[in-house]
Amino acid sequence: MSSTDADPPAKSLPPAPLVALAAWLIPGAGYVLIGQVGRGITVGVTILAMFVAGLLIGGIRVIDSPWIESPAQRAEREVKERNGAPRPSAVQAVLQKPWFIGQMLAGPVALVANKVGVTWERPTARATSADDDVAITGAGQGAPFSHARVYELGTLYTAVAGMLNLLAIIDSAYRASNRGNR
C-alpha cells in the first residue's frame, strides 16, 4: 500500500491540535504529519494554486483585512474619527469585510498577501524634471482596488481556497485523533 492511501502507518500520531495548527499554517501539512503524504500534497497544492489564482485574477487587493490598512486608509480613518465618526467594534469591522474570514482560513499566506498589498507601491508616473527623478506613486495607497467582475471572482477564489482548507483542517485533525481513519 502506498503512502497515498488512506491507512496510515500504525504508529502514534501527533495530537489533533498540532495537526490542525500545521494544516492552517501550510495547507495539506496536517495530512503529511499523520503520514498521508499523497493526500496532503494534493490538497495543499490545489488550495495554494486556487489562492494564487485568485490573486492573479483579481489583483492582490482581493485580500482585504479589516485590520491591516495602507497608510492612506489609516489617515482617512483617523480623519473620520477626529470628526466624530465612531470607531467600529471588532465584530462590525469583520462584518464589513466578511470575505476575509474565508480568506484567512487559507493560512498566514493571506495575512502576508494583505500586508504586501497595502505596502506595495508601484511608480505610476515619472517626474520629468532632471533634478527630480523620484517616482511619483499613489502615496501610501498600496496596490489599487478594482470594482470589476474579475475582482469579485478573485475574492471568491481566495475565500473558497480558505474554506476548503478549513475542511482539510477539520478532517486531518479528526483523522489524527482517530488513528488516521475517518
Partner 1 sequence: MTPIAAYTPFWNPLPVWDYWYTLLIPLSLGISIVYKSVKCHHMRQVPREATIIFLTILIGMIAAAAALMGLTRLLEWR
Asked if 98 touches partner 1 (CB under 8 A), the answer is no
Nearer to partner 1, 82 or 182 (CB): 182
- What residue has cell string 496536517? 30
**Contacting residue, 122, 135, 139, 179, with partner 1 by CB under 8 A:** 122
Site pattern 34..73 for partner 1 (x: CB under 8 A):
----xx--xx--xx-xx--x-xxxxxx-------------
Phi, psi of 126 (to 5 degrees): -115, 140
In whole angstroms, the minimum distance from the beta carbon of 5 to partner 1 comes to 5
By CB under 8 A, is residue 126 in contact with partner 1? no
First to last CA, the chain: 18
> With binding defined as CB under 8 A, does residue 22 bind partner 1?
no
Q: Which stretch binds partner 1 (CB under 8 A): 10-18, 99-107, 128-136, 144-152?
A: 144-152
Angle at CA of residue 117, ends 162 and 43, nearest 5°: 25
Specify the long-range contacts of residues 17-21, CB closer than 8 Å, at least 24 apart. Answer: 17/173, 18/176, 19/172, 19/173, 19/175, 19/176, 20/169, 20/170, 20/172, 20/173
120 binds partner 1 (CB under 8 A): yes
Lookup: cell for 173: 485533525
Cα dihedral 172→173→178→181 (10° resolution)? -10
Judged by CB under 8 A, the chain residues 148 through 177 that form the site for partner 1 are 148-151, 153-154, 156-157, 160-161, 164, 167-168, 171
Q: Which residues of the shown chain bind partner 1 in the complex (CB under 8 A)?
A: 4-6, 38-39, 42-43, 46-47, 49-50, 53, 55-60, 120, 122, 143-144, 146, 148-151, 153-154, 156-157, 160-161, 164, 167-168, 171, 182
